Amino acid sequence: MNGAKVPEGLVIGGAGGAIAGISVWLVNLVAKKATECRHKKRVYDWLSSNTSDEDGKRYRSTRAIASYNNLTEDRVRFICSTHKSIYLSTGEREDRWGVYGIGRDK
């Protein structure tokens, strides 16, 4: 009688463990994407308001962006390189970022 319940219990335990593992992975993925989205919005908003053609500051450095947004320079490079409206300057000075529509058309 107990012999038939052991395989059934193993199947239930295995399925429960798999569901728990997938749930943890999914929650982690959603949290990571939400953080990335918040960082992208923060950097884009700051870059949009702190770059302009009028004062000659069409590009801002990675260090300046990181400092004002309380992010690491590596994180800023990742965010700027993956954001669809932020681009890397191709001028003399390296590691500077700009926003489409300010100094450059789409």
Please spell the DSSP secondary structure of 33-72, one letter per residue.
HHHHHHHHHHHHHHHHHT-BTTTTB--EEHHHHHHHHT--
pLDDT of residue 103: 53
**Domain of residue 84, CATH code:** 1.10.10.10
pLDDT of 95 strictly over 90: no
pLDDT of residue 105: 45
User: How many separate domains does the chain show?
Assistant: 1
Residue in this structure with the two tokens 């319940």, named with its chain if needed: 5
Whether the predicted model's global pTM rises above the 0.75 cut:
yes
| Cα 41 from chain centre | 9
Q: State pLDDT tens for residues 56-79.
A: 678 899 999 999 999 999 999 999
In terms of Cα–Cα distance, which of 63, 46, 62 is closest to 102?
A: 46
pLDDT of residue 72: 96
The answer to whether residue 104 is domain-embedded is: no
Q: State pLDDT tens for residues 2-59.
A: 556 778 888 889 999 999 999 999 999 999 999 999 999 999 999 998 887 666 678 8
The answer to whether residue 94 is domain-embedded is: yes
The answer to whether residue 105 is domain-embedded is: no
Please give the span between the terminal C-alpha atoms of the chain, in angstroms, as a whole number: 72
The answer to whether residue 74 is domain-embedded is: yes
The answer to whether residue 106 is domain-embedded is: no
Residue 51, Ramachandran bin (φ over 0: left; ψ between -120 and 50: alpha; else beta): beta
The residue segments making up the domain with residue 88 are: 2-99
Angstrom distance (rounded) from CA 93 to CA 95: 7
